[in-house]
Amino acid sequence: MSSNKSNIYNTIGNNIRKYRKEKGWTQRELADKLLLSDSFIAKLESVTYQTLSIDTLEQIANTLEVDIVKFFEEEK
């Protein structure tokens, strides 16, 4: 796996965690709203390499009420 791939997934995962916490939701609460497993959300948010489809990312963005583009922004 290239470091660029792992970096983008880490960035996305960190942002999912950030926006989820802003909502005050646990990983399980987000997973339940998306009909996904909480282990899938946990893997997305961790350094574990977890791929996801754009459709799933869009569902997460819609559920968190965040523009999907925000998931690609690196912390400054």
CATH no. for residue 23?
Answer: 1.10.260.40
Q: In this predicted model, what pLDDT tens digit does every residue of 2-59 receive, in sequence order?
A: 566 678 888 999 999 999 999 999 999 999 999 999 999 999 999 776 788 999 999 9
What are the DSSP calls for 1-69, one per residue? --HHHHHHHHHHHHHHHHHHHHHT--HHHHHHHHT--HHHHHHHHSSS-----HHHHHHHHHHHT--GG
In a domain, 41, yes or no: yes
In a domain, 40, yes or no: yes
* Domain interval for residue 9: 3-65
In a domain, 33, yes or no: yes
> Is pTM beyond 0.95 here?
no
Number of separate domains in the chain: 1
In a domain, 75, yes or no: no
